[in-house]
Structures are given as C-alpha cells and as structure tokens.
Amino acid sequence: MQVAAVLVALWTAVAGCAAEPADQARPAAPRSAPVPVRPAVVEPDLAALPEATTFTEIPQAPVDQAADQPASGVLLRIKRDTAVHSAPGGAPFAKLPPVQLGNPTWVPVVEQQGEWARVLLPSRPNGSTGWVWTGSGAEVEKARSPYLVDVDIDARRLRVFRDGAQVGGWTVGVGAEESPTPRGRTYIMAAIEETVTNFSPVILPLGTHSNTYTTYGGGPGTVALHTWPDPAVFGQASSDGCVRVPQEALQFLATLPLGTLVLLR
C-alpha cells in the first residue's frame, strides 16, 4: 500500500479565569508532554501509475546495487494493486498488480528499512527495484523461502541451496555468445504449464529479460528456466538467453516457492 506521512500537531490550551487569594495560591501544575499523533495515511493515485509487470518498462526504477548477493529469503505477496516508491516514503513511480502471468505476485525483499521493504521488480530494465510499504493496513503478506537458486553461467552449472546447504546441482545450458543469459539477481516469477509447445512441460519465467531480444515468439522476452528435449544442450551456450535444465532439475525447481531468489552470475 502506498503511504505518505503527513504529520498533524493539534494543540489546545485551556486557561482558568478565577484567581485565588494570594495566601491560597498554588504552584501551576507541570504541563504534560504532547502526545505524538500517528501520521495520516495518504493514498496515492494508483490509476495514474504504470504497472510493473514482465510486459512493461519502468526506466525510473532504482537499480539493484547488490546484484551478485543473496538475500534474506523474505518474500512479499502483493494482494492488491500496491504502489512502488523510489525510496522509503519517496514518490511512487509504479504499482505492482496482485497477479503476474496468471500466478499470484510474490517478490523477494532485498533490503528492509523499518516498515518499508525494497523488492525486485519483474519489469524492464533488468535489476529494477522499488520500495513497498508493509506497515499497518498494507495489503501484503510476508513469507520466507529457505531456497536460493545459483546459476554459474560460465561454468554452466545450476545449484539449489536450502538454508545454505546444497540440495541439488545440475549441468545446464545457457545463452549463446550472441544472446547471453543476463546476469544479476532475479527470482522465480511464475510457473506455467506449457500447452502450446512441447519442449518443456513447465516453464518457470524469471523476473528478468533478454538484453538481446525484445520478444520471444511474440512475448516480452522474459528469461525462464525450462527443460529441452535434446540433452546435448546441457553444458552448452546455445540458447536465446534462457537457462535449459534437465527434467529432474525442472521437477525440483517447480516445487520452490514463487519469489525464490535466483542468482545469475
């Protein structure tokens, strides 16, 4: 929920008008400390904000400054259109919808300041972030994923960690030299059962995009984790930017919570 703090101080002074005789005068009672007034919540004009989705580009979004680092594992479920700010308490520049590609919107928290959470966004440019209010009245749900997906692009190796311990590892295919897999910190945005093509039964779109192509077959150029019918691609740099994984790996990755952090490095 987008909030802006407006501090309102209200003071009321009441004075008595009946004087006492001098010999009965009493010292004035000490003045009570002012009671802090809770900041008022000001709703942003959500209708005027562009949506941060895999189909959009939000050039004014702050860039992730720790793109090669893991995070705490805290996730936010966006339960209704929610404003995204440039800084804690800063101006809103976009909104996150509650659904992405037919899946509930879960985004990873990469920084926390009080009741403000900095999250990764699914929109272009890659590495986009923004701040979301998580305090009282916010339509968000917090959870935690114990998993981290680490993709070493040069070594063509994908590993999965649970609470720091490796629980899976596979040789994978990555982007070709002319269409490299983008590097940086992203996340599992959705899980889609493939009904149009047969190269992968499930596709796991990530919150990042090809830097070479603006579209894949008419889509927005979203990079994904998926399998491939020819196992010869594993260990090779031959894709259009997606990470091709063995069937066993895909089955495991499909069980991870949406919003789970993925390091492409």
Which of 179, 172, 178 lies closest to 200, judged by CA?
A: 172
Instruction: Tell me if residue 17 is catalytic.
Output: no
**Out of 17, 85, 209, 242, which one is annotated catalytic?**
242
Instruction: Tell me if residue 226 is catalytic.
Output: yes
Which of 4, 102, 2 lies closest to 49, judged by CA?
A: 2
CB atoms within 10 A of CB 14: 4
Q: Give the Cα separation of 261 and 66 in Å (integer).
A: 13
Q: Give the Cα separation of 64 and 262 in Å (integer).
A: 14
Which of 130, 156, 127, 108 lies closest to 257, judged by CA?
A: 108
Amino acid symbol at 206? L
Residue reference for tokens 């790996």: 249
Which of 118, 97, 68 lies closest to 189, judged by CA?
A: 97
- Rg of the chain on CA atoms, in Å: 25
**Out of 17, 85, 209, 226, which one is annotated catalytic?**
226
Residues identified as active-site: 226, 242
